Amino acid sequence: MEIKVLGPGCPNCKELERRVVKAISETGIGANIVKVTDFSEIGKYAMMTPGIVINEKLVHEGKPLPRVEQIKKWIENGK
């Protein structure tokens, strides 16, 4: 499974990435994280950052950031 974290590198994006890493390790599902920092790539998926794309599908964009529990649900659904 591929999880993309969209964001140009502001503090919110880093926090989101941290939560995604935590969610992945808690679910125990093998997934690799791809950080997308380029606006030309981000723009293909979302209209607000930070965002999460699971298997090419946008599941979250903008603030407030989703909680780890919520991210775990998305990961399990996208499995």
Partner 1 sequence: MFDLIADSLTYGMLRLPHGSRIAESVRFFLYDVPKIYFLLAVIVFLVAIARSFLPPERIRSILSRENEFLGNITAASLGIFTPFCTCSAIPLFIGMLESGVPLGVTMSFLVASPMINEVALVMLWGLFGWRIALIYVLSGMAVAVVSGFVIGRAGMERYLEDFVLKTKSPGTGPDQRRGWNDRFAYGTEYVKEIFSQVWLYVMLGVGLGALIHGYVPVDLVARLAGKGNPFAVPVAVLIGVPLYSNAAGTIPVVQALMEKGLGTGTVLAFMMAVTGLSLPEFMILRKVLKPPLLLTFFGMVAIGIVFVGYLFNYIF
- Cite the beta strand spans of 7-72 per DSSP E: 32-36, 51-54, 57-61
Q: Which of 13, 24, 31, 75 is catalytic?
A: 13
Minimum CB distance to partner 1 smaller for 60 or for 72: 60
* Least distance (Å) between residue 39 CB and partner 1: 5
* Least distance (Å) between residue 71 CB and partner 1: 13
Minimum CB distance to partner 1 smaller for 30 or for 52: 52
20 catalytic per annotation: no
Residue 74: enclosing H or E segment and its boundaries?
helix 68-78
Burial class (CB in 10 A: 0-12, 13-18, 19+), 54: buried
* Least distance (Å) between residue 3 CB and partner 1: 14
13 catalytic per annotation: yes
Instruction: Check: CB of residue 7 under 8 Å from CB of residue 49.
Output: yes
